Amino acid sequence: MSHNESLFERAQRSTPGGVNSPVRAFRSVGGTPRFITRAEGPYFWDADGKRYIDYIGSWGPAIVGHAHPDVIKAVQAAAANGLSFGAPTEGEILMAEEICKLVPSIEMVRLVSSGTEAAMSALRLARGVTGRDKVIKFEGCYHGHADSMLVKAGSGLLTFGNPTSSGVPADFAKHTIVLDYNDCAQLEDAFSKMGEQIAAVIVEPVAGNMNLLRSTPEFLQTMRRLCTQHGAVLMFDEVMSGFRVALGGAQSLYGVQPDMTVLGKVIGGGLPVAAFGGRADMMKHLAPLGPVYQAGTLSGNPVAVAAGMSTLKIIQQPGFYENLGTQTRKLVDGLSVTAKEIGVAFSADAIGGMFGIYFSERVPENYAQIMAGNKERFNQFFHAMLDAGVYLAPSAFEAGFVSAMHNDAVIDETISAARGAFAKLNS
């Protein structure tokens, strides 16, 4: 039995499914999860000592590469001064100022510890600000696991949402309206029927939790117009896309300003930091200034903030995003050309340091097209790549992430591994 297998067996005795977050269990692709012992730059190593080129980067945070010396040094220096105080620090001010500078739609920001917490708190704030209950989300977008977000569309358009998780009361789910991503007509319809009840529209402006899916510019523009017209809060969940598709997030690429933004992943640089922020007039409804309650023992934790700040400094170095975008593009173009040579139906897309691979002839434009992709082929490809030392997201419905440390040699090695993996699919 390999070390990974025996660790997995042991883990399952003390932890449900052997993991602390479900996608890690490899249920969707099958096989044994790899237990990671250490990581450096573009690589990590498992309990059996096997090295992988890592394309999940902790699901986004590792944008500067694993164990970057500057980040490690910042964390060590902060830790030496004490781990947590439950009182404010100057580091939190610096972090807030940096976020407001990099994302101009954010005038004020609050730091929390996870993307789930940030989205949940931002939605409460939107409801508090508007005095309304209903929220619009889109099928396939993920906003963390707060009750009101674990909801799928009801039986018909604009009917009450249904819980997607056991334990979510139908009475909570009924306030969430679930629409199709990139469908402007549905949005128009929803606002014309119940515009005065809608507190917020929450969206991943570049979606990454149903594989990578770009929004159309019209989709975001329509949302912006309708929210303004009807007094609803436009909320961009940029937990994944923030500092990932561009320094200013997806909102800088599309030129659409949300009222509020949710951040996470990259801003913690690998430690638990997330944030929500936006218009000052809205943020001032938060406790202790206003009536919307929100709090956290470890919010703005000094060690986590040090990791985040040092990461935010590195990504502002000249050429950082040019390089990241070039390497990511090299990867997806190389994969596409190779698949074509071998005769595998395949497509790929990339924005900044984020990519999607699809076992379909064309890059999908909506949720239905994503779901129609060949999942069986993805699973075979995933395992062939894993065997060859390339760790892709263990699900056909997750985006991939490149770091600044994925240099030409690393991309070339990935593409030659893919050549073998594609060939296996055809044999």
Ligand X SMILES: *Cc1c(COP(=O)(O)O)cnc(C)c1O
Q: Under 8 Å CB-to-CB from 156, ≥6 apart: which residues?
A: none
Q: Are 267 and 312 in contact (CB under 8 A)?
A: yes
**Comparison of 39 and 266: residue with beta carbon closer to ligand X:** 266
What letter represents residue 278's amino acid?
Answer: G
Residue 101 · residue 312 · CB < 8 Å = no
Closest approach of ligand X to the CB of residue 54, in Å: 17
> With contact defined as beta carbons under 8 Å apart, do 274 and 117 qualify?
yes
Q: How far apart are CA 329 and CA 350, in angstroms?
A: 6
What letters, b where the CB count within 10 A reaches 16 and e where it falls short, cover 35-54?
Answer: bbeebebbbbbbbeebebbb
Choosing from 137, 174, 265, 330, which is the catalytic residue? 265
Smallest distance, Å, CB 389 to ligand X? Answer: 26
Euclidean distance between CA atoms 399 and 209, whole angstroms: 7
CB of residue 264 to ligand X, shortest distance in Å: 5
Q: Give min distance, CB of 273 to ligand X, in A.
A: 9
Query: Taking the complex as a whole, how short is the minimal distance between the CB of residue 274 and ligand X, in angstroms?
Result: 6
Nearer of residues 119 and 324 to ligand X, judged by Cβ:
119
Q: How many whole angstroms separate alpha carbon 27 and alpha carbon 320?
A: 35
Among residues 55, 142, 367, 391, the one annotated as catalytic is: 142
In the DSSP assignment, the letter for residue 76 is H
Distance of CA 294 to the CA centre of its chain: 23
Nearer to ligand X, 202 or 232 (CB): 202
CA 393 to chain centre: 12
Active site residue 142: yes
| Nearer residue to ligand X within complex by CB, 6 or 20 | 20
Q: Is 330 designated active site?
A: no
Identify whether 391 is a catalytic site residue.
no
Residue 48 CB, nearest distance to ligand X (Å)?
27
User: By C-beta, is 142 or 358 nearer to ligand X?
Assistant: 142
Give the shortest CB-21-to-ligand X separation in angstroms.
7
Nearer to ligand X, 208 or 352 (CB): 208
Per DSSP, which regions of 5-156 are E strands? 36-40, 43-46, 51-54, 108-112, 134-138, 151-152
Q: What is the spatial distance between Cα 265 and Cα 261, in angstroms, rounded to a whole number?
A: 13
DSSP helix/strand/coil, 214: strand
* Active-site annotation holder among 46, 237, 259, 349: 237
Nearer to ligand X, 239 or 417 (CB): 239
> Both tokens of residue 134?
């209903």
Beta-bridge partners for 51? 45
Structural element, H or E, at residue 274: strand 274-278
Footprint of ligand X (CB under 6 A): 114-116, 119, 142-144, 204, 208-209, 237, 239-240, 264, 274
- Please give the positions annotated as active site: 142, 237, 265
